[in-house]
Structure 1
């Protein structure tokens, strides 16, 4: 969340192809958003980025897929305005393919939810929800930042309902989350999505996974499948070739 008058930084991601204005302190876009964008299917045409923040994942996807349109959905008006500015300032300008909607995911989860973004109009939903469970992590005393960072694992339910409502039949969901939330995520996806794929992300080959990249298809009943893990750094601490390809070159997994 962006507070009025808060200092901003101008950051280069994807090897300089993505420029982001974002708050100097608090929640900042980084590898999670870029990995999420890289995990999305290459044939997506109408994407919605739920809880987009300043737009990192959705804009990275728009850069990677030049034929796709992307709707950025953000609850905080100041942050949504920053996402709009970020879309306008890319080279080339993405404003013709990217729009920003200020909306609450919990309202979008209702059957009679808001008209925009439209129900059953997306073929892809991206989701990088707040996932520092307050039962496990210290929560910021600043309410707006806490909203950006922290939500209990069980509170993922309205996000999944919103994704289901926004997606057309056979539409796909791509999300990133913590490994500890896997059981909750699978339970929430059950009955709504199938063909679930789970790709662990490891900081080093010998280290436990720190993130899960999860894909799913609306209306399918195919059982879940684990995919080969992604390793971000080699033994020398330098980025792996795969990490370079995804995080700097902006390619898909």
Structure 2
């Protein structure tokens, strides 16, 4: 990790961090919300698609990790914070040759994207895949961070996840796919928000270790389907000895996909 002074749009100190075993390098603010395993797990859980949109992209971690794995994908990174949107564009430009040509950045509010009269970009009904890493922490159970950027990225009520699902539904073409990561505590609100919009819902628990409860859910769904939900085998990130599991190494270091079953 390197610290860079004076290069952030907000004059914040930036760090230059390596992901996926050094295949992805991201500039991100030293303070506030920072990209980590959640973004990489989300990218690895998403099926291959031609036209992908990453909602709440931050500095671009999930979307760029996905684009690095899927060379046929074009990608739109959507971020409400202009400073982070600027960093997402800079991060796209500094990856492998040709990747930036497949990526565009849109500074937009997810809530507006879900309205029938929402912005023209990204275009409604044009995406094959939407990736979502919504803010996780329900304000009824968690104190918001005093850092405004971190609070924006981390804290909304569970019920407000429907706002993000509405945006995903509007952006996806019929039969388009949704991939999202969230906390297990939000499952009731998520299933309620998916109902009537998406079907063929798959739920994969993610456990930090074999004996620990799941602390994340990887959820997939298809717009317009009515197929019942399915619970997939769990992903365990570390063994009893604390060392990363083979599955975690495959995803977090090698940049591989999480299989469908």
Same fold (TM over 0.5): yes
Which residue of the other structure, out of 26, 41, 46, is the alignment partner of 1:40? 46
Match of 1:4 in 2: 10
Match of 1:178 in 2: 183
Match of 1:201 in 2: 206
After TM superposition, give the deviation of residue 160 of structure 1 in Å.
Answer: 0.4
Structure 1 contact 87–93 (Cα < 8 Å) conserved: no
Q: How many residues align?
A: 251
Structure 2 contact 32–147 (Cα < 8 Å) conserved: no
Map residues 79-228 of structure 1 onto 2, 5 A cutoff: 79-228=84-233
Q: Give the SS at the match of 1:209.
A: coil
Residues 1:27 and 2:41 aligned together: no
* Cα distance in 1 between the residues matched to 2:98 and 2:91: 9
Moved more, 68-77 or 134-143: 134-143
Moved more, 243-252 or 86-95: 86-95
Q: Give the SS at the match of 1:252.
A: coil
After TM superposition, give the deviation of residue 3 of structure 1 in Å.
Answer: 7.2
* Cα distance in 1 between the residues matched to 2:94 and 2:107: 19
Q: TM-score, with normalisation over the residues of structure 1?
A: 0.97
* Cα distance in 2 between the residues matched to 1:109 and 1:80: 19
Match of 1:244 in 2: 249
Cα deviation, 1:124-150, whole Å, max 9, x if unaligned, reads: 000001111111112112333311111
Moved over 3 A (4+): none
After TM superposition, give the deviation of residue 95 of structure 1 in Å.
Answer: 1.3
Moved more, 86-95 or 44-53: 86-95
Unaligned runs of 5+ residues in structure 2 are: 1-7
Structure 1 contact 46–123 (Cα < 8 Å) conserved: yes
Structure 2 contact 209–240 (Cα < 8 Å) conserved: yes
Moved more, 103-112 or 144-153: 144-153
Structure 2 contact 135–153 (Cα < 8 Å) conserved: yes
Cα deviation, 1:53-80, whole Å, max 9, x if unaligned, reads: 0000000000000010010000010100
Match of 1:60 in 2: 65
* Cα distance in 1 between the residues matched to 2:147 and 2:73: 36
